[in-house]
């Protein structure tokens, strides 16, 4: 149960020359074809094993939602096939079919029936739906009095009231307040642990990297890449900045990680190193010591303005700290071919223990999305260890102090004068 | 093959019976939810219509059917035709919009699409039973109840629903691709109404036009209803063969059209 097989899937929309063209094609026998096929998805093939979680990423219009609709079965494929074992629940759009004049409870029943649940099943699930939505008395009020967040809560609760074998989630989920977002992701994780296969579209790097085992990158309706979420997200990130002349390449590092390098190449990264104060290269860094990130840049073609930025990421690919020379007020201007630059960035390694990587970007402005001379993930990889400080938890080292006071007596007066 | 398909359709309809029943109930509740008299309006509107046709036409305007005995006979004649015609047009005109109106649902949720026309027919049927129940009540009170011959209505209604469903689904599918259909059919319905002997009797027309009327499939149906209620006559079954065959053909064509274009329809909504 929960296995999804997608084979050679393609979807094309028909576009007709004019209003009468379709009629002519329908009515006139042996008439020539009067439509063009407009392909939005082509040659998509992949397989989801039961219990696997796969994220789909891609820019707007890459075909992500179409792919989900094809798998959910609301849209018919033009070519290829989708085979699914087990019950599918699709959260393509929440609150579909809610009627404003009816109470939350009535709408919940209706939405459940629309999913194919029977009245008795819904009755049984109702307390859980109410509890999860946390909208209190509002459950018996007309939905028209709800805030959009409350409607979302109820809709999500109903849609996920019973665990499906396959869950398909569109980015619609990213509405609602932070608390409920967190809660809904927790429910999805719970389903995963219980064996639900998950297919999720999201632009949220964090969501993809923490939930998914695998990611699929769609580009212009084609499957561009699939594999480890971090690697796919790096490639996607590089692709976002894609411009003419730009190259994106990925190379396998010695430890098996995939490094993504992209850019137009007017300026390039010659070397990157992490040094201690004596100039020795580091791979292992003690918590709290000062280090210098040394970035050497070569100019290959005239560059009107250059900004160097670095980003420290943890092993899940989450950004820990990043800054650039633009924000620090030292962008360089009018660089000529043959010039070399050395950036030295000194900072205390106030990070928790673990493995980190540094991504370097060379761009014209603050963001690499405008002009990307070079972007290099995994420029340096280092490990932070803790031997001198008490063992702590988390990714930030705050060098915290602690004081404690003990006293006798029943009543003690606290600082703001309230008797405890 | 066909049997297997029919079984699949029936099974999914059965599985979604709760949804369909809920939808019908919801539509009724939605209509009267925010009114003070609530469900009373369900009865008041059709009641007003029946009163207008029976009491006002018969009593005040003294409209009479040729060689009819009862003072209410013209009112009964009118109601027999108008109520059933109303059921027919409500079914067809709502079916022709059923896919357009539920476009969002069809695009975003995966459920048996066949539920939608069924819900529409159930809704129209419920409306009809309310108004028709009132009409029967009036017949009982005024002493014009036709008796056992009333059972003759059942096959007539079955044929009429088949006809309306077949026509409605064909128009509904076409309307998704060619929105002109909806507009056009509104006009056609007006002509169709006056081309059917509902407010007039066939005998008042010239012989030439009478022959022409025979080609109108609704003539036979409406005529049979009127026969039951005005004269207490069983329907002439032989007259009903053409409309029955036409209905079956339309239903088959509608299903074919629906199956062939269901996928493309979703893209078009």
Q: Which two tokens stand for residue A68?
A: 């989900």
Q: What pLDDT was estimated at residue A417? A: 46
For the four alpha carbons of B44, B46, B47 and B48, in that order, the dihedral sign comes to: positive
Q: Which of B23-27, B68-72, B81-85, B96-100 has the lowest mean pLDDT?
A: B68-72
How far A206 CA lies from chain B's nearest CA (Å)?
A: 26
Q: What is the mean pLDDT of residues B51-80?
A: 73
- Per-chain mean pLDDT for chain B: 85
Query: What are A376's strand-pairing partners?
Result: A261, A360
**pLDDT attached to residue B245:** 93
Average pLDDT estimate for A288-315: 91
| Helix ranges, chain B (H) | 2-15, 17-32, 40-51, 73-95, 98-101, 103-108, 115-141, 153-177, 180-194, 207-213, 217-226, 237-268
**Averaged pLDDT for residues B232-243:** 86
The percent of residues above 70 in pLDDT, for chain A, comes to 93
- Of B64, B128, B82, B46, whose CA–CA distance to B226 is shortest? B82
A345, two tokens:
């960035």
CB A203 within 8 A of CB A233: no
- The yes-or-no verdict on residue A419 having pLDDT over 70 is no
B194–chain A nearest CA distance, Å:
30
Residues of chain B in contact with residue A26, where contact means CB-CB under 8 angstroms, are 177
Q: A109 at the B interface (CB within 8 A)?
A: yes
- Min Cα separation B115/chain A (Å): 10
Of the candidates B16, B105, B263, the beta carbon closest to that of A97 is on B105
What are the start and end residues of each CATH 3.40.50.300 domain in chain A?
4-227
Using a CB–CB cut-off of 8 Å, the residues of B that contact A are 15-16, 18-19, 22-23, 26, 29-30, 33-34, 104-111, 177-178, 262-264, 266-267
Q: Using an 8 Å Cβ cutoff, are A344 and A294 in contact?
A: yes
C-beta atoms of A90 and B264 within 8 A: no
CATH 2.70.50.60 domain span(s) along chain A: 241-385
CB atoms A106 and B26 under 8 Å: yes
- A110 and chain B: CB distance < 8 Å anywhere? yes
Over residues B105-113, the mean pLDDT reads: 82
Residue A418: pLDDT band with limits 50, 70, 90: very low
Calculate mean pLDDT across residues A107-129. 85
Mean local confidence (pLDDT), B260-266: 83
A120 to each of A87, A95, A124, A338, how far by Cα in Å? 18, 21, 6, 77
With an 8 Å Cβ cutoff, are B262 and A96 in contact? no
Stretch A38-47: mean pLDDT: 87
- How many angstroms away from the CA of A15 is the closest CA of chain B? 10
So what's the pLDDT on residue B222? 92
- Residue B159's pLDDT band, with cuts at 50, 70 and 90, is very high
Among B182, B172, B31, B178, CA closest to B98: B172
H/E stretch holding A299 reads: strand A290-299
pLDDT at residue A411, as a whole number: 56
Whole-number pLDDT of residue B93 = 92
Q: Write down the mean pLDDT value for chain A.
A: 83
Residue of A338, A378, A341 whose CA lies nearest to A358: A378
Buried-exposed string A150-167: b where 16+ CB fall within 10 A, e elsewhere: bbbbbbbbbbbbbebbbb
Contact A351, A345 (CB under 8 A): no
Local confidence band at A341 (pLDDT 50, 70, 90 cut-offs): very high
Domains identified in chain B, total number? 1
Burial A117-130 (b: 16+ CB within 10 A, else e): beeebbeebbeebb
Question: What is the rounded distance in angstroms from the CA atom of residue A152 to the CA atom of residue A181?
Answer: 10
| Whether A188 contacts A170, CB under 8 Å | no
Average pLDDT over residues B108-129: 88
Instruction: Kindly tell me if the per-residue pLDDT of A131 is higher than 80.
Output: yes
Q: A369 CB near a chain B CB, below 8 Å? A: no
pLDDT confidence of residue B111: 83
pLDDT of residue A412: 52
Separation CA A286–CA A372 (nearest Å): 33
Does the pLDDT value for residue B138 go beyond 50?
yes
User: In this model, does residue A68 exceed pLDDT 90?
Assistant: no
For residue B118, which phi and psi values (nearest 5 degrees)?
A: -65, -45
Give the SS3 label for residue A84: strand
For the segment B45-57, the average pLDDT, to the nearest whole number, is 78
Residue A282 is predicted with a pLDDT of: 86
pTM over 0.80: no
Query: Is the pLDDT at A93 greater than 80, yes or no?
Result: no
Give the whole-angstrom CA distance, residue A271 versus residue A264. 17
**Mutant choice from A24, A76, A80 vs B, greatest count of B C-beta within 10 A:** A76
Pair B85, B197: CB distance under 8 Å: no
Torsion of CA A169, A174, A180, A184, to 10 degrees: 20
3-state secondary structure of B198: coil
Take residue B156 and report the two structure tokens written for it.
């007539």
Fold category of A241-385 in CATH: Coagulation Factor XIII; Chain A, domain 1 (2.70.50)
Give A375-388 pLDDT, tens digit per residue: 888 888 888 988 88
Q: pLDDT band at A413, cuts 50/70/90?
A: low
A4-227 homologous superfamily: P-loop containing nucleotide triphosphate hydrolases (3.40.50.300)
CA distance B159 to B203: 25
pLDDT of A247 higher than 70: no
| Model confidence band, residue B156 (pLDDT cutoffs 50, 70, 90) | very high
**C-alpha A63: how far from its chain's center?**
16
Average pLDDT over residues A208-227: 85
| Whether pLDDT at A173 is above 80 | no
Task: Select from A194, A103, A202 the least CA-distant residue to A151.
Answer: A103
Q: What is the pLDDT of residue B91?
A: 93
Domain range holding B255?
A: 2-268
For the residues of A25-59, what is the DSSP string, one character each? HHHSTTPPP-EEEEEEEEEEEEEE-TT-EEEEE--
d(CA A325, CA A346) in angstroms, rounded, equals 13
Q: Computed over its alpha carbons, how large is the radius of gyration of chain A?
A: 27
| Per-residue tokens: B174 | 């076409």
Say what the ipTM of the complex is.
0.73
B201 pLDDT higher than 80? yes
Chain A contacts of B263, Cβ < 8 Å?
75-76
Q: Does the pLDDT value for residue B90 go beyond 70? A: yes
Q: At residue B63, does pLDDT exceed 70? A: no
Q: How confident is the model at residue A156 (pLDDT cuts 50, 70, 90)?
A: confident
A217 contacts chain B (CB < 8 A) = no
Using alpha carbons, select from A87, A109, A84, A86 the residue that is nearest to residue A98.
A109
Interface size between A and B, measured as CB pairs under 8 A: 68
Facing B26 at nearest CB: one of A22, A73, A99: A99
Residue A114 touches chain B, beta carbons under 8 Å: yes
Q: In whole angstroms, what is the distance from residue B89 CA to residue B164 CA?
A: 8
* Residue A309 pLDDT: 93
Average pLDDT over residues B235-256: 90
């Amino acid at each position: 149960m929960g296995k999804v097989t997608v084979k050679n899937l393609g979807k094309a929309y028909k576009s007709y020359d004019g209003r009468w063209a379709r009629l002519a094609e329908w009515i006139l026998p042996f008439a020539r074809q009067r439509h063009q096929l407009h392909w939005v998805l082509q040659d998509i093939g992949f397989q989801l094993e039961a219990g696997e979680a796969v994220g789909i990423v891609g820019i707007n219009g890459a075909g992500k939602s179409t792919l989900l609709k094809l798998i959910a079965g609301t849209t018919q494929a033009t070519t290829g096939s989708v085979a699914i074992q087990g019950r599918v629940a699709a959260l393509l759009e929440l609150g579909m079919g809610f009627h404003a004049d009816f109470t939350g409870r009535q709408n919940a029943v209706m939405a459940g029936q629309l999913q194919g649940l029977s009245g008795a099943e819904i009755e049984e699930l109702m307390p859980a739906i109410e509890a999860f939505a946390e909208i209190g008395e509002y459950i018996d009020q007309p939905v028209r009095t709800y805030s959009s967040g409350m409607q979302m809560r109820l809709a999500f609760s109903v849609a996920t009231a019973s665990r499906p074998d396959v869950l398909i989630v569109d980015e619609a989920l990213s509405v609602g307040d932070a608390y409920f977002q967190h809660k809904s992701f927790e429910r999805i994780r719970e389903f995963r642990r219980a064996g639900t296969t998950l297919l999720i579209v999201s632009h949220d790097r964090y969501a993809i990297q923490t939930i998914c085992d695998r990611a699929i990158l769609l580009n212009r309706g084609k499957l561009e890449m699939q594999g480890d979420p971090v690697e796919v997200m790096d490639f996607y990130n590089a692709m976002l900045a894609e411009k003419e002349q730009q190259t994106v390449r990925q190379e396998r590092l010695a430890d098996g990680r995939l490094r993504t390098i992209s850019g137009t190449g007017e300026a390039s990264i010659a070397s990157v190193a992490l040094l201690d104060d004596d100039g020795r290269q580091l791979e292992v860094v003690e918590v709290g010591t000062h280090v210098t990130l040394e970035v050497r840049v070569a100019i290959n073609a005239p560059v009107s303005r250059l900004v160097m930025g670095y980003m420290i990421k943890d092993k899940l690919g989450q950004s820990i700290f990043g800054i650039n020379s633009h924000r620090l007020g030292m962008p360089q201007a009018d660089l000529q071919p043959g010039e070399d630059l050395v950036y030295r960035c000194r900072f205390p390694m106030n990070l928790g223990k673990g493995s980190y990587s540094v991504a370097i970007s060379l761009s014209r402005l603050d963001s690499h999305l405008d002009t990307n001379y070079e972007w290099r993930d995994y420029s340096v990889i280092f490990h932070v260890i803790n031997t001198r400080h008490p063992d702590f938890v988390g990714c930030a080292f705050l060098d915290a102090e602690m004081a404690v006071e003990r006293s006798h007596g029943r009543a003690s007066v606290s600082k703001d004068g309230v008797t405890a | 093959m066909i049997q297997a398909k029919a079984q699949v359709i029936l099974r999914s309809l059965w599985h979604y019976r709760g949804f369909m029943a809920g939808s019908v109930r919801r539509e009724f509740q939605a209509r009267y939810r925010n009114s003070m008299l609530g469900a009373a309006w369900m009865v008041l509107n059709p009641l007003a219509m029946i009163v207008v046709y029976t009491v006002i036409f018969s009593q005040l305007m003294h409209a009479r059917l040729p060689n009819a005995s009862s003072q209410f006979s013209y009112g009964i004649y009118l109601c027999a035709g108008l109520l059933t015609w109303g059921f027919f047009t409500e079914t067809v005109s709502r079916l022709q919009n059923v896919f357009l109106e539920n476009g969002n649902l069809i695009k975003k949720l995966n459920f048996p699409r066949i539920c939608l026309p069924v819900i529409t027919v159930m809704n129209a049927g419920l409306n009809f039973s309310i108004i028709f129940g009132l009409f029967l009540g009036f017949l009982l009170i005024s002493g014009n109840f036709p008796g056992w011959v009333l059972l003759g209505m059942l096959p007539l209604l079955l044929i009429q629903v088949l006809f309306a469903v077949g026509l409605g689904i064909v128009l509904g599918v076409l309307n998704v691709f060619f929105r002109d259909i909806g507009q056009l059919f509104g006009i056609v319905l007006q002509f169709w109404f006056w081309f059917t002997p509902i407010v007039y009797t066939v005998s008042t027309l010239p012989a030439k036009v009478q022959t022409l009327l025979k080609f109108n499939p609704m003539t036979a149906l409406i005529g049979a209803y009127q026969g039951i209620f005005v004269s207490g006559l069983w329907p002439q079954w032989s007259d009903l063969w053409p409309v029955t065959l036409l209905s079956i053909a339309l239903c088959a064509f509608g299903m074919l059209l629906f199956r062939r274009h269901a996928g493309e329809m979703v893209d078009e909504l």
